Amino acid sequence: MVSKVIVPNRGEIAVRIARACREAGIASALAFSEADDTRYVRRFFDETVSLGSGDARATYLDVSRVIDAARSVGADALHPGYGFLSERAELAAACEDAGITFIGPKASSIAAMGSKAESRHLMQRLGVPVVPGYDGDDQALPTLTAEALRIGFPLLVKASAGGGGKGMKVVRSADELQAAIESAQREAMKAFGDDRLLLERYIEEPRHVEFQIFGDGRGNIVHLFERDCSIQRRHQKVVEESPAPRYSDDLRQRMAKAAIAAAQGVEYRSAGTVEFIVTPDNEFYFLEMNTRLQVEHPVTEQTLDVDLVRAQLAVAAGGELPWSQNDLRQRGHAIEVRIYAEDPDDRFLPQTGTIARYVEPSGPGVRVDAGVTERSEVGVKFDPMLAKLICSAPTRDAAIDRMDRALRDYIILGTKTNVAWLRRVVTHPAFRDGLVSTRFLTDHAESLERTISPLAPLVASALASAAPRANAATNADAAPGVPSVWDVLGGWKT
Ligand code: ADP
């Protein structure tokens, strides 16, 4: 039984979890850093508890502080969200020791999937295909070099403890190898305190397709179909959708079977994701398993009409899986984009500021999961993701049309955002045709750039003086390729 859930997290995912708690009649407590602007997020919680005023390391990432906070509010369960401590077996174990229900998998499943090398070993034992490569314990430079030459080029050097694309290097020839290994080791040590590497064949023009799985910890596991997350920038997802375009049912069923096998191998409990990389010839390989809720879980929720967080709460309280495999049917299409405070015109540098005006899009099939609102401060200490916009419709084409419209309606002033750029991505003819791969943003970089009409700056400055009165302004381009005044003004503040 769960009566009060503590959430040591921030932004939209904290809001998402609090909403589910309220619907389930469970009390919620937000554990927050005072360095973060939590004025919006805390509205959704029954109570709050400070983790101190430090940055992420000193607050959201400090296991003993988090456990103390849970005890101080009398929480009997903890939902870690994503990021921060969500994939640390140490937190799951500390919760168990403190008699707090960890809303997620068993510590042993997290540990088994925490290292990319170890999870590859497990997958090989289970008969799930992995990318050809080297995942051995011997990390001496001569061994890594010999293995790299055996695998051939191009090659991907990866941090075994990695995440978020850190410590990952593409090596195109033998003479780049040593420098790439050393720099990946340095980066991995700095980011994860662990410099073990693995080597994989670098697959050219792949797609990233992942399966949502869900287990009750007693061997019952279902899959909730796939998400295509191929639109990535620097190995980080930007646009996600479900179903994956242009794939046969047969391919998707084979991947679903492999995903279930992977989850069964660790007696998985709660929500998890099995990630695959798919070659242009439709061969698929296991990449890794994420033992937590993913940022992109809403596209699954929208196409299956499920609530993954409520299901996590139910299973954590000892309940059964709310669905059998046969209950789960994909309907229509859903697309998610991640809205960031960043400047697409200047190397996507994170932006800071106070959100001066904020109006979310709405209407049928439009869902916004936001962590900010008007007057929220966007600082430098935490991730600059502001919100996620999810659009669903009966067909992929209609979902794209809806996303185009919703992005046009989205108003965020006071800090630059990627809203107008995202609109160029989703309305790109290649995206419309479902021709997605992890190279999409690189291949189409030029056609995704903002085109400034010679008149735009003049129009912008004329409107700037009138803007305080302008209510119907939008963030998005007036027409694809033509910048709106807000796009041009960027960080201009009211
Ligand atoms: P992380 O845990 O850092 O996110 P992943 O192993 O999940 O790392 O990979 C992240 C992304 O990097 C993938 O979605 C894919 O775009 C790319 N990638 C990973 N492995 C390969 C590979 N062997 N070949 C080509 N691209 C890869």
Burial per residue of 4-14, b for 16 or more beta-carbon CB atoms within 10 angstroms, e otherwise:
bbbbbbbbbbb
4-103: which CATH architecture? 3-Layer(aba) Sandwich (3.40)
Ligand 1: nearest atom to the Cα of 202: 24
Rg over CA atoms, the chain: 23
Q: What is the model's pTM?
A: 0.91
Tell me the β-bridge partners of 136.
Answer: none
pLDDT at 485: 52
Q: Which two tokens stand for residue 463?
A: 């409107």
Ligand 1 midpoint to CA 199 (Å)? 12
> Which residue out of 237, 287, 438 has the highest number of ligand 1 atoms within 8 Å of its CB and is therefore the one to mutate?
287
**426-444 tens-digit pLDDT:** 999 999 999 999 999 999 9
pLDDT at 492: 43
Ligand 1 midpoint to CA 277 (Å)? 8
pLDDT at 162: 85
CATH code linked to domain 207-443: 3.30.470.20
In this structure, the residues whose C-beta lies within 6 A of any atom of ligand 1 are 131, 156, 162-165, 168, 200, 202-203, 206, 208, 232, 235, 275, 277, 287-288, 438
pLDDT at 453: 66
Ligand 1 midpoint to CA 188 (Å)? 15
- Which H/E stretch holds residue 207? strand 207-216
Active-site residue (options: 65, 292, 357, 402): 292
Residue nearest atom 15 in ligand 1 by C-alpha distance: 235
DSSP 482: B
pLDDT at 140: 96
Q: How far from 220 is each of 106, 263, 268, 270, CA to CA, in Å? A: 14, 10, 8, 11
Catalytic: 88? no
132-201: which CATH architecture? 2-Layer Sandwich (3.30)
pLDDT at 147: 97
With 0-12 / 13-18 / 19 or more C-beta atoms within 10 angstroms meaning exposed / middle / buried, residue 326 is exposed
In the predicted model, residues of the chain with pLDDT beneath 50 are: 469-478, 481-482, 488-494
Q: How far is residue 213's CA from residue 272's CA, in Å, rounded to a whole number?
A: 5
Residue nearest atom 17 in ligand 1 by C-alpha distance: 235
Ligand 1 midpoint to CA 165 (Å)? 7
With 0-12 / 13-18 / 19 or more C-beta atoms within 10 angstroms meaning exposed / middle / buried, residue 93 is middle
Q: How far is residue 267's CA from residue 270's CA, in Å, rounded to a whole number?
A: 10
pLDDT at 219: 85
Q: Provide the residue ranges of all domains of the chain, joining segments of one domain with +.
A: 4-103, 132-201, 207-443, 456-493
